[in-house]
């Protein structure tokens, strides 16, 4: 069972003449499912594991190979978009993510999440970090979250508007919500009364929000990268501590 980690960005943007941005009140929900197939890993290749799928990006179709010897295709599935094993992070970003970020900046509520069985590439696709030394340039394998953060700030700065931004960062695991912006040391030192309750609340029409999450005001993309790094380290420490207990 995997966990869901969600980093939330709340932006309020105001044009230079002081009028606020227009938000379309259309409640319709538009869901797109993009399938990304990762290449075989080094270990899988060494173990001579057969390739189990065949991607047709043009037809938006993936076929499951039932018999690897004669490449018999058992079943095909159609998605809104397919990215095959040769696809790069940049391809996914340009073809499926950048547009959603533009919509979020126009005032729509948008969510991007990765879903899949363990080892399928969720962390690689979403979180992978890495910038070339002393440069704004990303390495090729940098994931979606750092790219989204950069696009948001680049767009807001280019518009020369006033804006404010807050981030939240939570983990949902085994039906429990953990606020990742409250360091483990702090959360363990609080007594029950001082601890902010974290609950998933509904407010009409199926919309939900998480009450009691820590929010941090951020002014630059680097401040968000620092938070991501801080949380990544905290999670590594947590995994180490759990392994020591086992
Ligand atoms: N598109 C890709 N290209 C190259 N390597 C990839 C790709 N996707 C994933 N990998 C590699 O496959 C391995 C598993 O990926 P990852 O850890 O991202 O899976 P996950 O879905 O997050 O797994 P878990 O649910 O267990 O956390 C990693 O070594 C990662 O570097």
pLDDT of residue 145: 95
CA of 212 relative to ligand 1 center, distance in Å: 32
Higher confidence at residue 244 or residue 110?
A: 110
Mean pLDDT across 170-198 = 78
Integer CA distances (angstroms), 222 to 48, 147, 165, 217, 226, in order: 42, 12, 13, 13, 6
Whether 32 has a pLDDT exceeding 50, the answer reads: yes
Q: What is the pLDDT of residue 192?
A: 63
**Distance of alpha carbon 205 from alpha carbon 26, whole angstroms:** 13
Q: Can you give the pLDDT at residue 167?
A: 95
| Per-residue pLDDT at 20 exceeds 50 | no
Residue 74 burial class via C-beta count within 10 angstroms: exposed 0-12, middle 13-18, buried 19 and up? exposed
Atom of ligand 1 nearest to the CA of 36: 1
The reported pLDDT for the residue numbered 202 is 86
At residue 70, the pLDDT reads 65
Cβ(131) – ligand 1 distance below 6 Å: no
Q: Does 221 score more than 70 pLDDT?
A: yes
Is the CB of 119 within 6 Å of ligand 1? Answer: yes
What is the C-alpha to C-alpha distance for residues 104 and 111, in angstroms, rounded to an integer?
A: 9
* Amino acid 13: pLDDT: 43
pLDDT tens per residue, range 72-115: 668 899 999 999 999 999 999 999 999 999 999 999 989 999 99
**Alpha-carbon distance 185 to 212, whole Å?**
18
Q: Is 177 helix (H, G, I), strand (E, B) or coil?
A: strand
Q: How far is residue 174 CA from its own chain's centroid? A: 19
Instruction: Give the pLDDT confidence of 207-217 residue by residue, as tens digits.
Output: 788 888 999 99
* 15 or 58: which leads in pLDDT: 58
* pLDDT surpasses 70 at 129: yes
| pLDDT reported for residue 168 | 94
Return mean pLDDT, the chain: 83
| ipTM reported for the complex, 2 dp | 0.98
Strands 34-36 and 81-83: parallel
Answer yes or no: is the C-beta of 124 below 6 A from any ligand 1 atom.
yes
Distance of CA 152 to the CA centre of its chain: 14
Distance between CA 164 and CA 11 in Å, rounded? 6
The neighbouring-strand residues paired with 211 are 199
Which of 3, 85, 119, 139 should be mutated for ligand 1, with most atoms under 8 A from CB? 119
Distance CA 224, CA 8 (A): 11
Probe residue for ligand 1, chosen from 40, 114, 123, 127 as the CB with the greatest number of ligand atoms within 8 Å = 123
For residue 118 and ligand 1, the question of a CB distance below 6 A is answered with yes
Residues 100 and 83: their CA atoms lie apart, in Å, by: 17
Identify the band that residue 7 occupies on the pLDDT scale cut at 50, 70 and 90.
low
């Amino acid at each position: 069972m995997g966990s869901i980690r969600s980093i939330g960005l709340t932006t309020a943007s105001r044009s230079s003449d002081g009028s606020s941005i227009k938000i379309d009140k259309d409640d319709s929900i538009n869901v797109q499912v993009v399938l990304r197939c990762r290449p075989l890993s080094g270990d899988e290749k060494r173990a001579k594991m057969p390739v189990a799928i065949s991607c047709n990006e043009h037809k938006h179709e993936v076929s499951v190979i039932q018999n690897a010897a004669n490449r018999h295709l058992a079943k095909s599935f159609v998605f809104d978009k397919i990215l095959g094993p040769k696809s790069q992070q940049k391809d996914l970003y340009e073809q499926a993510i950048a547009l959603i970020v533009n919509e979020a900046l126009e005032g729509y509520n948008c969510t991007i999440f990765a879903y899949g069985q363990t080892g399928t590439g969720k962390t690689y696709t979403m979180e992978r970090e890495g910038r070339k030394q002393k440069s704004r340039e990303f390495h090729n394998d940098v994931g979606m979250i750092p790219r989204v953060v950069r696009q948001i700030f680049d767009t807001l700065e280019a518009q020369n508007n006033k804006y404010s931004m807050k981030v939240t960062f939570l983990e949902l695991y085994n039906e429990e919500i953990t606020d990742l912006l409250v360091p483990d040391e702090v959360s363990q030192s609080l007594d029950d009364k001082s601890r902010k309750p974290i609950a998933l609340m509904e407010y009409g029409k199926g919309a939900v929000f998480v009450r009691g999450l820590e929010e941090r005001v951020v002014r630059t993309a680097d401040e968000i990268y620092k938070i991501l790094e801080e949380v990544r380290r905290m999670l590594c420490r947590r995994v180490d501590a759990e392994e020591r207990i086992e």
